[in-house]
Structure 1
Amino acid sequence: MASSAEEAARALREIAEINARAAGFQDYQAESGQMVLWGFAYIIGFALTGLFTDYILLVWTLIIIIALIAGSSIARRTNPDIPGIAWRYLALIGSILLLCVLINIVMWPLTPRQGAMLAPLFVATLYILRGVQLRPRYLVIGVLLAVLSMVGYLWLDAWFWWWMAFAFGGTLAISGLWLRNF
């Protein structure tokens, strides 16, 4: 009798493990579209900032508004069974944006490069935290985003905007495509 109880317990553990892995894959696929979207938003935003540094506020305001509209649409499409997903999405991204704005106000004056590092480092931190808790691929993405951002900030002053466009934005977009395949 003991062996069948042990077998049943082992089978239940295996089922729980399979469920957890399936949930992880679903999470990666649901998140992948957002990562690609925001990766391209960062590519365009940093590239335009490199070209038109005097218009940094206008560039990022337009990029963020467009990305918020597209992102809430993606959230509704990938999670149609979650009521109010668009509002939750907007609240989450809005809180990140609000934090960045408030840090700019509290720490004023910041250089444009310093201000531009707030969101990338915060996003990298969120992926690291999420990876430590649940999904190891997010940990890899978060560490890579943080390291690449700091390399650009510390050592690539003349190429900073272009580096951030392709290193941060490109890594985010490629990571989204990588997660889509799981």
Structure 2
Amino acid sequence: MIDSREAARALGDIEDVTKRVRQSQIYRLSSLLMILWGVLVFPANLITYLAPVYADKAWLAVYVLGIAGSAMLGVGQKFRTGVRGFDIRALLAFVLFFAFGSFVETIGHFGPREMGAFWPIYFMLFYCLAGLWFGIAFMIFGLGVTALTLIGYAFIGAAFPLWMAFVNGGGLVLGGLWMRRS
């Protein structure tokens, strides 16, 4: 028989393990999503740099493939772990996210360079916010990519889209791989 202190410690240990398992599942799905988006964003930035006339088509493809791939990964998470990874609310959040970003882009009259900085920083805001709930790794990643984006915007001239291929696309892939280890 255990006393009340031992029972409280055991319950605390169970709660701690539950939190770590939940964070691990969040990091696992997030890492897959980051790698997916990084693999899509990298070539879109290269296209923006090498053939700017096709940039709009490249970015539209990124958004379509990224949202579809995100939904598929979320559904796969549900089947693999029984934990809902993507539902209609997540899809609506993506739609609202892009709608608001597009609205800001429209009223801001951004040029290509400004859009190249706005969208990654806008995405990283949500990584930073996620870090408040799900772990410091999200915050570190979001602030790091934001800082590198601003450095590139201020100091890299015409090669800014090439810079962003590595900072944003490569950063997402590396961040996803790092998060798998966390």
TM-score (norm 1): 0.88
Q: Structure 1 residues 84 and 25 mapped into 2: Cα distance closer, same or farther (>3 Å)?
A: closer
Query: Percent of aligned positions with the same letter in both sequences?
Result: 25
Q: How much does 1:66 deviate?
A: 2.0
2:152 and 2:160 in contact (8 A); partners too: yes
**Which residue in 1 is equivalent to 2:160?**
160
Which segment is superposed worse, 51-60 or 28-37? 51-60
Residue by residue over 1:50-109, the C-alpha shift from the partner in whole angstroms, topping out at 9 and shown as x without a partner, is: 11223322221122212222222122112234679353443222222111110011112x
1:38 and 1:172 in contact (8 A); partners too: yes
Paired with 1:70 and 1:52, the residues of 2 have a C-alpha distance of 25
Paired with 1:8 and 1:154, the residues of 2 have a C-alpha distance of 57
TM-score (norm 2): 0.88
Q: Structure 1 residues 159 and 33 mapped into 2: Cα distance closer, same or farther (>3 Å)?
A: same
1:73 and 1:86 in contact (8 A); partners too: no
Q: Structure 1 residues 52 and 86 mapped into 2: Cα distance closer, same or farther (>3 Å)?
A: farther
Paired with 1:90 and 1:52, the residues of 2 have a C-alpha distance of 31
**Which residue in 1 is equivalent to 2:70?**
71
**Which residue in 2 is equivalent to 1:4?**
3
**Which residue in 1 is equivalent to 2:50?**
51
Q: How much does 1:165 deviate?
A: 0.5
- Counterparts of residues 109-128 of structure 1 (less than 5 Å): 110-128=110-128
**Which residue in 2 is equivalent to 1:180?**
180
Paired with 1:83 and 1:33, the residues of 2 have a C-alpha distance of 15
- Counterparts of residues 144-155 of structure 1 (less than 5 Å): 144-155=144-155
Q: How much does 1:180 deviate?
A: 2.2
- Output the amino acid matched with 2:42: I
Q: Structure 1 residues 23 and 38 mapped into 2: Cα distance closer, same or farther (>3 Å)?
A: same
2:116 and 2:161 in contact (8 A); partners too: no
Q: Structure 1 residues 169 and 84 mapped into 2: Cα distance closer, same or farther (>3 Å)?
A: closer
Paired with 1:140 and 1:84, the residues of 2 have a C-alpha distance of 23
The count of residues paired between Structure 1 and Structure 2 equals 179
Paired with 2:168 and 2:86, the residues of 1 have a C-alpha distance of 26
Secondary structure, counterpart of 1:157 in structure 2: coil
Residue by residue over 1:27-51, the C-alpha shift from the partner in whole angstroms, topping out at 9 and shown as x without a partner, is: 1011111110001111011111111
**Which residue in 1 is equivalent to 2:134?**
134
The runs of 5 or more residues in structure 1 that have no matched partner are none
